[in-house]
Structure 1
Amino acid sequence: MLRQQLGRIRRTDVAVAAGFAVFALLEELLIKWPGDWWPFALTGATLLILVRRLIPVLAMIPNALAVMETFYEEATIGGEETVNFRLWQVVAMIICAYTVGRWVPPFDARRRIVRRGLLGAATIVLTVATYWYFNPEDPMIDIFIPVAPYVLGIVISVQARKLTEAAGVRAEFRERQAREAVMEERVRIARELHDMVAHSVTVMVIQAGVVRRRLDAGLPVDAQLLQGIESAGRDAVTELRRTLGLLRGDGAETAQPPVGMDRLDDLVGQVREAGLPVTVRRCGDPVPLLPAVDVSAYRIVQEALTNVLKHAHATSAGLTVDYRADGLHLEVVNDGPPAPPAPGGGQGLIGMRERASLFGGELHAGPRPQGGFEVRARLPVPAVVEGAAR
């Protein structure tokens, strides 16, 4: 226990105590105060200053008593009557009074600290009253010497507590920001993996089912179906490697280029190979898209076509890509019967809406009046359109 308490002594405590001891020795050697008891008093005062943060109130009381005894004691130095004013004793009391205000202020949330703080305040008041009793001619000195360092300690204690609380708030805010950033990144990665793997695996499952049914019926297997399965598998592996490469922090030179609207024909070809006829209609003059918008537009079309394959039981689908003045309009429709909500909570639709809203666009998904299902999205690209016009 004692070792733990001594371990709390800081280097600054040792430095202050050493500096005080040097100052007191110089005063005694230069002024040559009468009396031979001062080495013991100086040693005790130095030790109390050394451990003042561990026992603030107990360290102050002996110093205050010592000042009361000798502050106004008259002595004869050089044949003249003078006040036995040992400055080092006053300095020791000032240091301890400051420590009481700094480490045991009279107000704190903890009950134990409050009791110690009130004891420290009472000690300061008693010291002032005693000094005033022995020296009523100079009350300002009697008040200033104990009270000023004590109040200074309280002020610094309050400021330190405020700084600590502010640092805690900032740390909590940074931690909350980090958690939110992690969650956003997780959602983004989950959306990328869902859009990427769901489409490729859906194509592979449907094509593998066609192959199985043809084999069960004893019919020859079209090589293009097997090539489609192989191609979809390669695409899934490539996209997985790209995403995992980004997670590992691989450089741009090692990562695969992201998908975009320039790969739309490949995507439609995969869906057609899976057995769903898709009609593509393009309107307007194509303009260069920002990379993030390009990827999001591709993912929206990919997810919409994947949902048609998985849930719509449609015989055909239509894709419209329309470049207008207010942005890029995408539409995917099918002629399938009304279908129940997709299992898994409709994460694909949620992801598509997030991608659209990320750029200030909107997305509508729902049954068509004439039958089937439709997904309509608009991604604003005004800056790109204006730049293309110039």
Structure 2
Amino acid sequence: MNEARRRWAADALLAGVLLVIGMGGTRAAGLVQERPVTAFTFVLVAVVALSLVVRRSWPLVTLGVAAVGVSIYLSLGYPYGPIFFSFLVSVYTVARHRPLKPAAIAAGAALTVLLVHTVVDGNTMGLGPAAAWVAVPFAVGVTVRISREAAAQARDDLARRYADEERLRVAQEVHDVVGHGLSAINMQAEIALHLLGKRPEQAEAALTAISRTSREALDELRVTLALVRRTREGETRAATAGLARLDDLVARMSETGVPVEVEVTGDRRDLPAAVDLAAYRVVQESLTNVLRHAGAASATVRLAYLPEEVSVEVVDTGRGAAGPPGGGHGLVGMRERVAALGGEFTAGPVEGGGFRVYARLPLP
């Protein structure tokens, strides 16, 4: 059953319940109040109650039928009874499902129609109760509408925030993968061009490295883009990048002429996927910055496996800058990636020359 049918069924059930209550309660009210109860009394009760079947589809029509029906009911001197419950629901529905201004105008008009009986019988004592039967359900309806609109807005804002975070995460992954691959290919291409005329055999090795690096970068890019695809079970495909691929990364850097030394403290072990990926990306982006900006330099990667955290440090012997002022997003991306896991990140020039990147990643 779709949403529209469920609403119709619920409103029909409510109308049926109020109809039964109205039929039984009106007769009892007439006996207690010693007021007349005729066949037309029950017709009015039925019309007002059954108008609630379309209350959410046509709330203003429902309120108009209820107001006119109750006004006629009171003008004929019938007993105060359950017919007011149907009127109460119609006022609430208008306030709940219509904007404030048109809902207030409709409620005011309904109150005016409802007060016709005070002119007919000259009894102004009915002004207060009539106003209450309009004001109270109207206030409740407006309150419910505002609270639900606020909740819906909060859900939309949360969904947008999650979507923005997901886009930023994917953009960062693509930046790291493509940036590193293109930097390595660019360096190897320059080497090949330089050696092509003088030492063609070494140029061929550089071209072979370009082919391998580009293929690996494309494979990793495919896996990264697959992260945004959900399986039918709603699970995200796991990324393959991690510290287990550190040796391949170091080998690619060495082929470009940047010697990299790796120092490991503690016992290597499997890390949570998010921590493992973040540590690898910090090393990858740091070495990419060395390749781009440090000039003729070497780099040292230090990994420390501690009981409650893992730390990554990359130090180079280059010019001591991570890039031109205000250029690039590498350091910003690394800082955000580490902060998202509750870690600490620092980066800056080293006294005496070089640049240092340090990240501490707590283990859950």
The gaps in structure 2 that reach 5 residues or longer are 1-9, 28-37, 52-60
- What residue number does 2:294 align with? 312
* Partner Cα separation in structure 2 for residue 285 and residue 41 of structure 1: 88
Matched, 1:347 2:329: yes
Which letter does structure 1 place at the counterpart of 2:164?
M
1:224 aligns to what? 205
Q: Which residue is equivalent to 1:280?
A: 262
Q: How does 1:152-167 map to 2 (within 5 A)?
A: 152-167=133-148
Flag the 1:65–1:165 CA change in 2: closer, same or farther, 3 A. Answer: same
Quick check: 1:204 aligned with 2:204? no
Taking structure 1 as reference, are residues 295 and 39 closer, same or farther at Cα in structure 2, changes over 3 Å only? closer
My pick for the range that moved more, 160-169 or 93-102, is 93-102
Identity of aligned residues (%): 30
Picking from 368, 381, 390, the partner of 2:350 is 368
Whether 2:44 is the aligned partner of 1:54: answer no
Q: Does 1:298 align with 2:267?
A: no
The answer (yes or no) to whether the contact 1:207–1:274 under 8 Å persists in 2 is yes
Matches of 2:272 and 2:101, distance apart in 1: 61
Contact 2:341–2:362 at 8 Å: present in 1 too?
Answer: yes
Q: Which residue of 2 aligns with 1:377?
A: 359
2:75 maps to 1:65? yes
Deviation at 1:157, TM superposition (A): 2.9
- Residue 370 of structure 1 deviates from its aligned partner by 0.4
Q: Return the alpha-carbon distance in structure 2 between the equivalents of residues 218 and 349 of structure 1.
A: 37
Cα distance in structure 1, aligned partners of 2:163 and 2:201: 51
SS at match of 2:319: coil
Contact 1:331/1:375 (<8 A) preserved: yes
Whether the 8 Å contact between 2:68 and 2:114 is mirrored in structure 1 is no
Judged with a 3 Å threshold, the aligned counterparts in structure 2 of structure 1 residues 111 and 348 are, in CA distance, closer, same or farther, namely: closer
Query: Which residue matches 1:238?
Result: 219
Query: Would the alpha carbon gap of residues 379 and 44 (structure 1) be closer, same or farther in structure 2, given more than 3 Å must change?
Result: closer
The 8 Å contact of residues 98 and 151 in structure 1, kept in 2 or not, is answered as no
Please tell me whether Structure 1 or Structure 2 has the larger radius of gyration of its CA atoms. 1
- What is the alpha-carbon distance in structure 1 between the residues aligned to residue 277 and residue 14 of structure 2? 64
What's the Cα RMSD here? 4.3
Q: Which moved more, 1:161-170 or 1:47-56?
A: 47-56
Unaligned runs of 5+ in 1: 1-9, 28-37, 72-86, 134-138, 384-390
CA separation in 1, counterparts of 2:199 and 2:353? 36
- Equivalent residues of 2:343, 2:359 under 8 A apart: yes
| 1:15-69 deviation per Cα after TM superposition (whole angstroms, max 9, x unaligned) | 67x959x969xx9xxxxxxxxxx899987897788555236655554444333xx
Amino acid aligned to 2:178:
V
Counterpart-to-counterpart distance in 2, 1:58 and 1:223: 93
CA-CA distance at 1:322 after TM superposition: 2.8
Q: Give the AA of the match of 2:209.
A: G
